[in-house]
Structure formats: structure tokens, C-alpha cells
Amino acid sequence: MSSNDPHGYKKTLSSPYSGVKGWIDSRLPLIRMMEAEYLKFPVPKSLNYFWSFGGIAMFCLIGLILSGIFLGMHYKPSAEDAFNSVERIMRDVQFGWLVRYLHMNLASFFFIAVYIHIFRALYFGSYKAPRELVFIFGMLMFLLMMGTAFLGYTLPWGQMSYWGATVITNLFSAIPVVGDAILLTLLGDFTVSDATVNRFYVLHWLLAFAIVGLVVFHVITLHMTGSNNPSGMEPQNWDETLSFHPYMTIKDTKAMVLFFIVVAFVLFFFPNIMGHSDNYIRANSMVTPAHIVPEWYFLPFYAILRAIPDKLGGVLAMFGSIAVLFILPWLDTSKVRSCLYRPIWRICVLLFALDFFILMYMGAKPASDIYVLISRIGTAYWFLFFLVLAPLVGYLETPRQPLTISNFLRDKKALT
């Protein structure tokens, strides 16, 4: 910016476009930005299909918001009407069953996409400098997603809605001094009730749009640093990159269509497979279900909660298990990003993924001796992984590393 042009006036008028497009772009540089960030944006040549899941997750979010808007036009957030209004949507609203099943199943598939996306970040070291903020915004979104999903699951006012909400909100009462006040504020009553479903409905909308806001930050921070890639090396020259369009747009579209084939298969032929049959029973405060089980995507954290014999301890462990993810960029001491070149850490990360699934399984089981014992071992490994292995392995292991992305691609070719 020249010194005799304090507002950069000349620069704003120098849009690369002409006509109406140029007029708008010189005043609102959106077209310029979209071109730079989504058409010409250089990405490493070596990306694999793991890198499609960010885009897939975003489409899940868009689908959830659209279907949610239409559900909201027919849903009634009160203890009296909620259950029957959902059934009205299923039976009397044109294509209501489709919108409702879409919303219900996309929530699960959103979590599937995000869990794969997070695993990608762990396995290829996408959380490391300079992408710490990309990762942290991602984790914040994950946290809000869990909140949104929990609130949303309460809304149909089935038995699992009601008792799940009762069990989870009750956790807040474990917080010393202010716990009961928080619980009362959250529920708007002394138990999960009419007031609760009404405010949960409002908060469900609020958090959903807060996630959209965070997506913007996630993408801005990502576009400052550029994408990581399987080699973990930064591109050294233009030859090691491809422009986002058409290379990534077509690759991601292909992956996305395949993902949505799976979504459609479940949605149209097994729409209730990821749900719980008890949620088709209207909420009843006098009848407790035999097993209160949260939605599948909460099960690992539910297992961690139950692994600790103390209530407050369990709550701390559950929130702590997510909190440690936020500081992972600083816990991991290795300079090398990708697990492909870190033999010991690679095993640790794969064991962590296994641990996640084991905990998920344990979360669905009743809290009997053997399951609690396995949950405890699983919980112990979870924290060991972040707090001990991440710093330690970085020192102990001797990583290999290709010099450039081109080397990586050549090695890969030689292997296959």
C-alpha cells in the first residue's frame, strides 16, 4: 500500500474482473477470495482419500441444517406435544418421514465423518505446527457437535430422550458448590420437564449455528497454512501441488457420492439401525428403561465416565478425555508429522483407535465387573497415550522422513 493512499483506495478498485462482477468484487472481494481459496488454492499432490472427509462432514452439516429447518416448522417443543408432533411429521407431513429420517441418520453419519477426520489428523500429524489452531477450532466444533447432538436427542421426547437427558444433566450436579445451581438453570425445573425440552430446543438451534461459525474459522486457519498430506512434508515448489479445482473438487465429489450411497442405503432401508427402540415409547418419568444407553457416538466417553468409581471423578475424566486433545499439539514432542515415518508412534496411534472402539463397545454394555475393568484399562490407555506416550515417544523414537513430497510419491510408487 503506497504512503499517499492511506485507505488502499487504488488497490480496492484494481479488481481482476470487469463489469458487474468487477464492480462488486472491488467493493466486496468475495469473488476474488473464492477464486483464490477454492479454485486456484494449491494443495499437495499426495493427498489420499482421508482428506475428503472434511468436505463430507461439511455436507453432512448442511444437510442437517436444511432438514432441521423443515423439521422445526412442524415440531412442537413441549413435554405434552413433542412426541406426537414428531409422529405427525412421520405420518401426516408430506415427505416428513424422509426429512426426519434424514436428520436422524445424518447426525450419526456426521459423527462417522468427523471421527474419520479426527483420526486422519492424529495419524498424519495434522495438528502440529503450524496447524495448531486448525486443530483447536476442529476440537471446539467436535465439542459443540456433541452438545448439539445431545440436546437434539432429547427433542423427540421418547424414553431414551428423557432418561438420557436425566442421566447426563445430572452429571453437572457433581460439580462442587455451583453444581445444583447449574443443573437447575439447565433444566429450568427440578427434573427434566416441559421447561427443559423448550430450552433444549432453542439451544439445539443456537449450537448448530455456532458450529457453522466455527467452520469459517476452521477453514480460514486451514487456508493460511495449507493442507497437510500423508508425507507430512510441506510442498517445496509448485510441481508438488495441484490446484484445488478441478483436481480436488472432482476427487472429493467422487468420495462424497460414495459416502452418500452408504448414507442412502441406511436411510432408506435401515433408518432405525443406529437408534434405540425405546425412543419410540413416549417419555415416562415413572418408568425407567432397563438399560439407559446414549447414542453410539457418545459410547466411548460414556464408558470413560463409568470407569471411574467416583461421580465427580468420572465427570472430570470424561471432559478431560476431550480436553487432552486440545493440548495435543504441545504434548507431542516429535518434529516429524506423519505416522508413516514414526514406527513407534504409529503403533500407539493405531492402539488408540482400537482403544476408542473397545471403549465404544464397553459403553453399550451394562456396568458389570468385567466390562468396568476393561473400561478402566481403556481409560488408562487413553490418558497414557496423550499425557505420557505423546511427549515420550517423540524423544525415544528415531523417525525416518522423505526429503520432499516428490520423494514420498516416488517411494510410494516403488512400493506398489
Residues belonging to the active site: 223, 227, 251-252, 295
* 361 binds other proteins, rule: CB under 8 A: yes
Shortest distance in whole angstroms from residue 292 CB to other proteins = 10
Nearest to 304 by CA among 344, 360, 354, 261: 360
| 108 sits near other proteins (criterion: CB under 8 A) | yes
The label of the residue with cell 505416522 reads: 339
Q: Is the torsion defined by CA of 193, 195, 196, 201 positive or negative?
A: positive
* Residue located via cell numbers 511427549: 391
Judged by CB under 8 A, the number of residues near other proteins is 62
> What's the grid cell of residue 272?
432405525
Q: How far is the CB of 221 from other proteins (least distance, A)?
A: 25
In sequence order, which residues have a C-beta less than 8 Å from that of residue 9 and are 6 or more positions away? none
State yes or no: residue 276 binds other proteins (CB under 8 A): yes
101 near other proteins (CB under 8 A): yes
Interaction of residue 357 with other proteins, rule CB under 8 A:
yes
The Cα–Cα gap between 57 and 106 comes to 10
Interface with other proteins, residue 288, by CB under 8 A: no
Dihedral sign from CA coordinates of 296, 300, 303, 304:
negative
CB of 364 to other proteins, least distance (A): 4
Nearest alpha-carbon partner for 352 in 102, 118, 77: 118
Q: Which residues within the stretch 70-99 sit at the binding site for other proteins (CB under 8 A)?
A: 84, 87, 90-91, 97-98
Nearest approach, Cβ of residue 20 and other proteins (Å):
30
Closest distance of CB 87 from other proteins, Å: 5
By CB under 8 A, residue 116 contacts other proteins: yes
17 belongs to the binding site for other proteins (CB under 8 A)? no
CA-nearest of 223, 166, 236, 186 to 405 is 236
Decide if residue 205 touches other proteins (CB under 8 A). no
Q: CA quadruple 147, 118, 306, 178: dihedral positive or negative? A: negative
Among 17, 38, 205, 260, binds other proteins (CB under 8 A): 260
Choose, by CB under 8 A, the member of 17, 38, 217, 296 that binds other proteins: 296
Q: Which of residues 229-248 bind other proteins (CB under 8 A)?
A: 242, 246-247
Q: Which residues contact 98 (CB under 8 A, 6 or more apart)?
A: none
Q: Among positive and negative, which fits the CA dihedral 9, 11, 14, 17?
A: negative
Strands (E), 117-244: 241-243
Residues 312-351 that bind other proteins (CB under 8 A): 350
Angle between helical axes of 369-384 and 311-326 (0-180°, round to 10): 30
Residues engaged in binding other proteins (CB under 8 A): 45-46, 48-50, 84, 87, 90-91, 97-98, 101, 108, 112, 115-116, 119, 123, 242, 246-247, 250-251, 253-254, 257-258, 260-262, 264-265, 267-269, 271-278, 280-281, 290-291, 293-297, 299, 350, 353, 357, 360-361, 364-366, 409
